[in-house]
Amino acid sequence: MSAPITPPLVTVDWLRDHLDDADLVAVDASNHLVVPDDGPYTPESGRDAYLAEHIPGAVFADPLTAFADSDAPFPWTAPSHEQFAAAAGEIGIGDGARVVIYQDTPGPQMWSTRFWWQLRLEGFDDAVVLDGGLPAWKAEGLPVTDDETVPVPRTFSGVHRPELIRTTQQVLAELDDPGTVLVNVLDPATYRGESTNYARPGHIPGSINLPVSEIVDPDTGGLRSPDQLRTLFSDAGLLDPQRTPVAHALAIAGRDDVAVYDGSMTAWTADPDLPLVEGADPR
């Protein structure tokens, strides 16, 4: 088995050169959001889009269904380790595989990076994200297909890592912990509470705003370079080794101890007893 690729990001050229490797599994993890100007968003599976076109040989992993807890009150809630391991194994993710994850939309790779985090959460490290996703692949004139891939099942033997996930109660308990930095990656207007697609406006007290759009290179549509990301995250205090950021995309900048608040603003704003702050100041 090859050593995991570091940082966990590959280019279209790399995937083109390795797509036929026997141990490589390309994974389309696309979901879609129908987002009105104001009011709640509607989640949609990306399966129909996958069936219409995908990278040849890619399998589909749905963060909304097979890789989510169907009994949870909110979409995309991480499932049990047993459910995740079974679903991953069925599509060929497991022992001896190298995984490249992509999504079918440009800009911030929220679906592919979430699935990358879920794999890490369940103990699988040999996974990377395709920079720029399917749009970058197509921009290079590379082929797509509507032939559904028949996966070769594998055994998934990863071990769950509870330190990579936070619950609402854990986040609440850490609000005044100087060793924790909570990062809100939504757009500034939503952070300030001027508009919202959640149950209530505002942000979690003490959370800083680092819009996910800032990690994207506007010229390429892919992620900024590792050096640019390190500068961005350092300026926000996210590379301080004495502080543990609760966010999802710092590994490229050199941090792999990042936890995700899985319920996020959907769960937090749904509870009227939990505090929120409006305005530009964290507190």
pLDDT in tens, the chain (283 residues): 445 555 688 999 999 999 999 999 999 999 998 877 776 778 899 999 999 999 999 999 999 999 999 999 999 999 999 999 999 999 999 999 999 999 999 878 889 989 999 999 999 999 999 999 999 999 999 999 999 999 999 999 999 999 999 999 999 999 999 888 888 988 999 999 998 889 999 999 999 998 888 887 887 777 777 788 778 877 877 766 554 444 434 554 556 677 889 999 999 999 999 999 999 999 9
Question: Residue 229: what pLDDT?
Answer: 78
Could you give the CA distance from residue 268 to residue 272 in angstroms, rounded to a whole number? 8
Report cis status (omega within 30 of 0) of the bond before 7.
yes
Domains and CATH numbers, the chain: 9-160 (3.40.250.10), 163-270 (3.40.250.10)
pTM of the model: 0.88
Of 33, 208, 49, the residue nearest 108 (C-alpha):
33
Which residue type is seen at 122? E
Mark out the alpha helices in 91-141 (DSSP H runs).
Answer: 110-121, 133-139
Instruction: Show the beta-strand stretches assigned E in 95-249.
Output: 98-102, 127-130, 165-166, 180-184, 208-209, 244-246
Distance CA 119, CA 79 (A): 12
Asked if 50 and 30 touch (Cβ cutoff 8 Å), the reply is yes
In this structure, is the dihedral angle defined by the CA atoms of residues 145, 110, 221 and 131, taken in order, positive or negative? negative
164: CB partners within 8 A, 6+ apart: 117, 120, 121, 258, 259, 260
pLDDT number for residue 245: 44
The tokens describing 89, both together, are: 């194994």
